[in-house]
């Protein structure tokens, strides 16, 4: 089998595994979601080997989407870290076989403490499935591995089941993009959602001209301002803007009297403005809707700055 054919076969096998997962989903999933929603503590996730790696990803997704969660290594748990599990916590145990010794060792402790538990395994008849409160079946017909040894389809199925839990919980909690941004302040999304226009706008040495300013003055101000535009003012009120594009078009259409043109001849009247306390996401949305790269920033209709598309980080 050639390389591309093998790769496509892997896609096909794993896609079929996910499709089967959806078909087999039952009301146990709903009950598990409701239990997690009612949990007053954290959702602690544990698993060994490849299941543990998937568990870490699920825990990270949960934690960033409104469900307090962290990963606990079952081996470390059995050697002292069980103290991380508090009485109000709920535990998600992952084992494809449902017979992983390190994972099963946690069950007596959980039962004694009264912690609710959810299992993800590919064997509904396993020890793990029978000794947890809720079992989510992630069984697959076959692995993508040609030897049927390396976890491939099974880890994909487990990951997707975790994503299904996380997304469902997000919606049930009415988790918004602003909530997401609070957990991701360092990312571009978090920056746009939490930062205001006033935080990024240019406010010093703004390129300003008067209504009767000459074309030479306008070009000088555009060059020194380095924003590609000047704001046309009249008695401290915004009258319009002139962009470098306006200058180029005027050079083509008014060649004979180009150097006699004034700001009022070139300007776009009533330019788009935005309040300084507006979130960057709204600024981005407005720029996209009206197809501009710059907005004049105002406070009580007084010009205080200029914000441009590159300031938003898109």
Going edge to edge, which strands form the sheet with 229-234? 208-210, 229-234, 237-243, 268-269
Distance CA 45, CA 41 (A): 13
CATH 3.90.650.10 is right for the domain spanning 3-175: no
What is the structure's pLDDT at 185? 54
Say whether pLDDT at 257 is over 60. yes
More confident position, 275 or 78 = 275
Burial category of 151 from C-beta neighbours within 10 Å (exposed 0-12, middle 13-18, buried 19 and up):
buried
| Strand pairing class (229-234; 208-210) | parallel
304 in Cβ contact with 298 (< 8 Å): yes
Is it the case that residue 184 has pLDDT exceeding 60? no
Q: What is the dihedral of CA 221, 227, 229, 233, to 10 degrees?
A: -70
Nearby residues of 103 by Cβ (< 8 Å), 6 or more positions away: 46, 47, 48, 74, 93, 94, 95, 128
- 260 burial level (CB within 10 Å; 0-12, 13-18, 19+): exposed
- What is the percent of the chain with per-residue pLDDT over 90, rounded to a whole number? 72
The pLDDT of residue 180 is 64
Residue 155 bridge partners (DSSP): none
279 pLDDT band, cuts 50/70/90, is confident
**135 annotated to a ligand binding site:** no
113 closest CA partner among 132, 88, 142? 88
- C-beta atoms surrounding 61 within 10 Å: 19
pLDDT value of position 136: 97
204-249 residue pLDDT tens = 999 999 999 999 999 999 999 999 999 999 998 999 999 999 999 9
Task: Sort 67 into a burial class: Cβ within 10 Å, 0-12 / 13-18 / 19+.
Answer: buried
The pLDDT assigned to 1 comes to 63
Asked whether the predicted pLDDT for residue 190 surpasses 90, the reply is no
Average of pLDDT values for 156-172? 95
* Residue 280: pLDDT band with limits 50, 70, 90: confident
Predicted confidence (pLDDT) at residue 72 exceeds the cutoff of 90: yes
Matching CATH number, 194-312, of 2.40.40.20, 3.30.70.20, 3.10.580.10, 3.30.1370.60: 3.10.580.10
pLDDT of 73 higher than 70? yes
Range from 60-64, 119-123, 302-306 carrying the lowest mean pLDDT: 60-64
d(CA 214, CA 208): 12
Distances in whole angstroms, Cα of residue 210 to Cα of each of 88, 207, 243, 272, 303: 67, 11, 14, 18, 14
**DSSP β-ladder status, 273-275 and 90-94:** unpaired
Average pLDDT, the chain: 90
256 DSSP 8-state letter: T
pLDDT beyond 60 at 281: yes
Quickly state the pLDDT bin for 188 (edges 50, 70, 90): low
pTM exceeding 0.85: no
Q: How many CB atoms lie within 10 A of CB 204?
A: 5
53 or 81, which is more confident?
53
HSE value, Cβ hemisphere, 13 Å, CA-based, for 96:
23
Averaged pLDDT, 293-307: 94
pLDDT tens track for 88-123: 999 999 999 999 999 999 999 999 999 999 999 999
The per-residue pLDDT for range 2-56, each reduced to its tens digit, is 999 999 999 999 999 999 898 889 999 999 999 999 999 999 999 999 999 999 9
The domains of the chain are located at 3-175, 194-312
Q: Which CA distances in Å does 246 have to 206, 216, 239, 263, 286? A: 18, 14, 15, 10, 21
């Amino acid at each position: 089998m050639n390389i591309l054919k093998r790769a496509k076969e892997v896609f096909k096998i794993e896609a079929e595994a996910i499709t089967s997962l959806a078909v087999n989903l039952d009301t146990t999933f709903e009950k598990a979601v409701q239990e997690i929603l009612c949990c007053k503590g954290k959702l602690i996730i544990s698993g060994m080997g490849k299941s543990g790696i998937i568990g870490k990803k699920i825990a990270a997704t949960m934690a960033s989407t409104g469900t307090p969660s962290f990963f606990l290594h079952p081996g470390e748990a059995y050697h002292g870290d069980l103290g991380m599990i508090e009485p109000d916590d709920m535990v998600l145990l992952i084992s494809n076989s449902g017979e992983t010794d390190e994972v099963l060792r946690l069950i007596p402790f959980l039962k004694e403490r009264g912690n609710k538990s959810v299992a993800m395994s590919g064997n509904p008849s396993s020890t793990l499935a029978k000794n947890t409160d809720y079992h989510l079946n992630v069984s697959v017909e076959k692995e993508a591995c040609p030897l049927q040894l390396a976890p491939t389809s099974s880890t994909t199925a487990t990951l997707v089941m975790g994503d299904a839990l996380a997304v469902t919980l997000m919606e049930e909690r009415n988790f918004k993009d602003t909530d997401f941004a609070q957990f991701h302040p360092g990312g571009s999304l978090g920056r746009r959602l939490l930062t205001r226009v006033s935080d990024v706008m240019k406010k010093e040495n703004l390129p300003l001209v008067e209504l009767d300013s000459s074309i030479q003055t306008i070009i000088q101000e555009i060059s020194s301002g380095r924003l590609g535009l000047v704001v046309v003012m009249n008695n401290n009120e915004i009258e319009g803007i002139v962009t470098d594009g306006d200058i180029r078009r005027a050079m083509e259409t008014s060649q004979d009297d180009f150097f006699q043109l004034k700001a009022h001849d070139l300007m776009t009247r009533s330019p788009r403005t935005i309040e300084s306390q507006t979130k960057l996401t709204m600024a981005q949305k407005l720029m996209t809707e009206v197809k501009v790269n710059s907005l004049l920033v105002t406070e009580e209709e007084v010009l205080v700055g200029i914000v441009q598309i590159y300031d938003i980080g898109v």
